[in-house]
A and B are shown apart, each in its own frame.
Chain A
Amino acid sequence: MTLKLLVCVKRVPMTGGKIVLTADEQEISTRHLGFTISPHEECGVEQAVQLIERNGGESVVLTLGPAEAIEQIRDAMALGIDRGIHLQVEEEWDPEATAEAIVAALRSDEAATGPFDLVLFGNESADSGGYQVGLRVAHALGRPCATGLKGLEVSGGAARCEQEIAGGRDVYVLPLPAVATILEGLNLPRYPSVPGRMRAGRKPVETTFPARPASRLERLRLVVPEGQSKQAEVLGQGPAAAPAVVEILRGLGVV
């Protein structure tokens, strides 16, 4: 059975060592930053590519984000995703509105080219961490959804899903079509190849401009929490510092 898969990714800044906000406290100052997607979503992309390599079919990447989010679509295509859907919006949308826009785009794609067997999400977005867009989409579509997966296999019209718990893994078997949310560790994502990057530039992307509904989780401002401005006490330079380190460890009762 060949598969048709969708994976949803969100463009976020790579913040590095320190988060700096814009003056209006509405977003992270990104002037010197690169952009990426969540590691959970990277594993979702990798899983979609692997599933199509094994079963045949088509993989699609979707993002709701600014014009520049085309970079994240091309990044996914460089790894093997076949085509893209770009819901181009100016600002960050709340999870309810994001899910509604994804559902509308998915429905119109399915009307044209048939149903997605599996729709993949990150367990939570890197920045907002709302823990809900995937479940909202699944509910609107009336499809079963398992979350936080570290194992995912498809065979015989069903998805076998594994979720890590204390002391082992819980297994869910979902009839397709289904929705799954992924955690990093599901697989080890590949690096893009040069030919992969070349091909990505020629793959099709459909762009639409959805209108933003009123937000019921209304973001007022961002705040950098305290406690990221300590000054470490330097115990010494090189191996000569070992006795001073052991003294600290003794004081903490761990030696």
Chain B
Amino acid sequence: MLVLCEHADGEATDVSLQALTFARTLASGPLDALLIGPGGREAATGLGDLGAGTAHVAEHDGLAAFAPDAWARIVCDTAARLGSTVVVAPGSERGNDVMARAAVRAGQPLAANCIAARAGRPLALTRIRWGGSLLEEARLHGEPAFLTVAPHAVASERAGGGAAALEPFTPQLDEADLVVRVSDRVAAAAGGVSLTDAKVVVTGGRGVGSREGFAPIEELAAVLGGAVGCSRAVTMAGWRSHTDQVGQTGTKIAPEIYIACGVSGATQHLAGAKGAKRILAINTDPEAPIMASADYAVIGDLHEVVPAISAEILRQRGR
């Protein structure tokens, strides 16, 4: 079994450790980790503890910048060389991209974002649809079987193994493999608290009513040191930028508490808030669908409730 591991700053990413953990439960055979590009050797240390017997590290001048077709070729060639029967990667944007390229190159199907799998021919699996709002049980008829693991489907877990054997190698690459490659990087303007990392997210939905209506939402987020989110209804109305959108086609968040104001609770919205520990809904409608996903609710007009919460926090702090 071969597991493609992504890495950044000399460390394997957590979703890659999750993919290794997932692969371990799938088969007892040898587990090969594959790392590609600069920093791969550093990132390989410690993978033995996740169950990897060997860490194969692809090193090549052409890999200084990310080149997805080159990565896909390395995945295919390595799987063929090792005789891997299952090829696994994290279901990150890059993981899904590279694995789709690898699967089509190998003439095989791909099952993206699996949350469970059982070895066998065909491989039995469960994968997510609708960003996690629905599951699909399926059979994957592939040799080798290509699949990616949905982020946070399993927690990364150490196996207590020794160090993985380090096997650096130079992959065979042609010009054609490097046509699609990162040729430049634009830095983002530094912002406030990012939605992804915020401990508190205060979101406004259509119920906010206008662009200006977000002032109390922004105030509560600021008082709590959190970030402002919004629903797609808000983005489409042009009240806020898509960078604030929480959901299946927006940002996935994982705060301690998610305060959703004037949001009805569409499945596609809540698909972005599955990582939230607690959800508080503030809504005029006690029958809104969000009540079936929220832990707490305040029934009322957000334009009255939200400022009252900010004022109460400031009052208690002033005491």
B172 at interface, CB cutoff 8 A: no
- The interface residues of chain B, by DSSP majority, are classed as mixed
Contact B182 A128 (CB under 8 A): no
Chain B: minimal CB distance from A152 (Å): 14
Q: Which of B236-259 contact A (CB under 8 A)?
A: 236, 238, 241-243, 245, 248-250, 256-257
Contact A129 B224 (CB under 8 A): no
Please name all residues of chain B whose beta carbon is closer than 8 Å to the beta carbon of A212 when the two chains form the complex.
none
B167 CB-CB contact with A under 8 Å: no
B104 touches A239 (CB 8 A): no
Give bound CA distance, A183 to B180, whole Å: 18
* Contact with B297, one of A173, A219, A233 (Cβ below 8 angstroms): A233
Contacts of B277 in A (CB 8 A): 252
Contact with B along A233-255 (1 / 0, CB 8 A): 11111111111011011001111
| Contact residues in A for B286 (Cβ distance below 8 Å) | 234
Q: Check if B104 sits within 8 Å of A173, measured CB to CB.
A: no
Instruction: Scan B188-210; emit 1 where CB is below 8 A from any A CB, else 0.
Output: 10000000000110000000000
8 Å CB contact of B130 from A127, A130, A230: A127
Q: Given A131-B100, A225-B135, decide whether A238 and B130 contact each other with a Cβ distance below 8 A.
A: no
Which of A13-21, A63-71, A201-209 forms part of the interface with chain B?
A: A13-21
Task: Report chain B residues within 8 Å CB of A255.
Answer: 224, 313, 316
Q: Who on chain B is nearest to A135 by CB?
A: B100
Assess the B296–A232 pair: CB atoms within 8 A: yes
Which of A83-91, A107-115, A162-170 interfaces with chain B? A162-170
* Contacts of A155-176 to chain B: CB distance below 8 A: 162-163, 165, 167-175
Partner of A184, one of B139, B250, B309: B250
Q: How far is the CA of A146 from the CA of B166 in the complex (A)?
A: 32
Given A173-B183, A237-B300: A223 and B112 interface contact (C-beta under 8 Å): no
Residues of B within 8 A of A253 (CB): 256
- Please judge, given known A-B contacts A217-B109, A254-B199, whether A223 and B135 are in contact too, CB under 8 Å: yes
Tell me if A139 is interfacial: C-beta within 8 Å of chain B. yes
The 8 Å CB contact of B134, one of A19, A167, A169, A217, is A19
Chain B residue numbers with a CB within 8 Å of A146 are: 180
In whole Å, how far is A253's beta carbon from the nearest beta carbon of chain B? 7
B156 within 8 A of A: no
Among B16-24, B32-40, B44-52, B260-268, the stretch that binds chain A is: B260-268
How many residues in A have their beta carbons less than 8 Å from beta carbons of B? 83
Distance (whole angstroms) from the CB of A213 to the closest CB of chain B: 12
Q: Give the residue of B130, B185, B266 whose beta carbon is less than 8 angstroms from that of A17.
A: B266
Question: Given A127-B129, A171-B186, A242-B309, does the pair A252, B278 have CB atoms closer than 8 Å?
Answer: yes
Q: Please tell me if B140 contacts chain A, counting CB pairs below 8 Å.
A: yes
Q: A183 — which chain B residues lie within 8 A by C-beta?
A: 249
Given A16-B266, A127-B129, decide whether A171 and B185 contact each other with a Cβ distance below 8 A. Answer: yes
- Chain A positions within 8 Å of B112 at CB level: 124, 129-132
Whether, in the assembled complex, B30 has its beta carbon less than 8 Å from a beta carbon of chain A, the answer is no
Contacts of B165 in A (CB 8 A): none
Bound complex: CA of A175 vs CA of B184, how far in Å?
16
Q: Does B133 contact A (CB under 8 A)?
A: yes
Check B180 against A174 for contact (C-beta < 8 Å).
yes
B100 touches A236 (CB 8 A): no
A134-159: which residues lie under 8 A (CB-CB) from chain B? 135-136, 139-140, 144-148
Whether A95 is near chain B, meaning CB under 8 Å from some CB there, is yes
* In the complex, chain B residues 82-141 whose Cβ is within 8 Å of any chain A Cβ: 91, 93, 96-97, 100-101, 103-105, 108-113, 122, 126, 128-141
For B109, the chain A residues whose CB sits under 8 A away are 94-96, 216-217
Is B280 in the interface zone, CB < 8 Å from A? yes
Contact B267 A19 (CB under 8 A): yes
Query: What is the bound-complex CA distance between A124 and B185, given in angstroms?
Result: 24
The answer to whether B136 touches A254, judged by C-beta atoms less than 8 angstroms apart, is: no
| Interface status of B179 (Cβ within 8 A of chain A) | yes
Measured CB to CB, the nearest residue on chain A to B141 is A216
Q: Which of A126, A147, A227 has the most CB of B within 10 A?
A: A147
A contact residues around B188 at 8 Å (CB): 167-169
Are the CB atoms of A172 and B182 closer together than 8 Å? yes
The distance in angstroms between the C-alpha atoms of A229 and B163, with both chains bound, is: 45
Q: Does A56 contact B (CB under 8 A)?
A: no
Q: Which of A131, A163, A167, A220 lies in contact with B96, CB distance below 8 A?
A: A131
Q: In angstroms, how far is the closest chain B Cβ from the Cβ of A191?
A: 9
Q: For the complex, is A188 an interface residue (Cβ under 8 Å from B)? A: yes
User: Which B residues are closer than 8 A to A by beta carbons?
Assistant: 66, 68-69, 91, 93, 96-97, 100-101, 103-105, 108-113, 122, 126, 128-142, 148, 179-188, 199-200, 224-226, 232, 235-236, 238, 241-243, 245, 248-250, 256-257, 264-268, 277-281, 286, 288-301, 304-305, 307-309, 311-313, 316
Interface residues of A (CB under 8 A from B): 15-19, 28, 38-40, 94-96, 99, 123-124, 126-132, 135-136, 139-140, 144-148, 162-163, 165, 167-175, 183-185, 188-189, 216-225, 227-243, 245-246, 248-249, 252-255
17 residue pairs bridging A and B, Cβ less than 8 Å apart: A17-B290, A128-B129, A128-B136, A144-B179, A171-B184, A172-B183, A184-B250, A216-B142, A223-B126, A225-B132, A238-B301, A242-B308, A242-B309, A246-B312, A246-B316, A254-B225, A254-B257
